[in-house]
Structure 1
């Protein structure tokens, strides 16, 4: 095992120490190893191409932004092969959270997510991808829904 020396600012170290206390790590080394593994997994999931994934795209947006809800709904409809279901939550008078479950090729999922997050009026966005193996002949968007949203509506609907 190699020993490394790193330099980080006091504020970041405070965040790391709070993370260590919250998660119950025995020491900083264990925490840093897990954080590095997690960062590498995330970086790899963003660069691997041609493989299938299941993903969640979470984003907060300004629902009063000009035509944004309409544009977001249109995007989901145009990518119904990727967008499996969407949960819509009203946060306050001007903000909404949406969580969209996506399934398909990583490159297509990433491109769709990047486009949604880049929309004017989307304040925060995050994509979490997990690799999946699809059975032979069972392609994404194969024509039937396996689940419904929290409101019980069919896939691809928005509340």
Structure 2
């Protein structure tokens, strides 16, 4: 892929924020950080357009609440056309994390993640999407 160079003018405050972003995310330089931000924006625009995307729904909960796994499995079964795989991990004696790989229209994946994340007992949940094509 050919690389094009161009100049960017930023006010001091925005430049400091960019440098902090570069440092916090361990980018090699500002160019890589800017590339990352542009790509991230393009992916998020695809979500809004309801394009086909891939991603993961991550939920964390107390593994002592067995009902959550059953409910999660029921939701996934009903949405099996969009579920690629599921993997679970015991984080410690108390907490369990389930990662559900998904692919489909962004609105549908958002709907599925909302169903999973809103289950009673979920301590934390997040949907992460990326372009699939």
What TM-score does the superposition give when structure 2 sets the normalisation length?
0.72
Per-residue deviation, 1:48:
1.7
Q: What corresponds to 1:111 in structure 2?
A: 111
| 1:24 and 2:28 are equivalent in the alignment | yes
Q: How many pairs does the alignment contain?
A: 125
Per-residue deviation, 1:92:
1.2
Structure 2: 5+ residue runs without aligned partners?
Answer: 1-6
Larger strand proportion, structure 1 or 2? 2
Q: 2:55 touches 2:130 (CA, 8 Å); kept in 1?
A: yes
Residue aligned with 1:30, SS: helix
Shift in alpha-carbon separation, 1:64–1:41, aligned structure 2, 3 A: farther
Per-residue deviation, 1:11:
9.5
Structure 1: how far apart are the matches of 2:76 and 2:43?
24
Structure 1: 5+ residue runs without aligned partners?
Answer: 133-159
Q: In angstroms, what is the RMSD of aligned CA positions?
A: 2.8
Larger helix proportion, structure 1 or 2? 2
Structure 2: how far apart are the matches of 1:103 and 1:73?
17
Per-residue deviation, 1:16:
4.0
Shift in alpha-carbon separation, 1:48–1:131, aligned structure 2, 3 A: farther
Q: What corresponds to 2:54 in structure 1?
A: 54
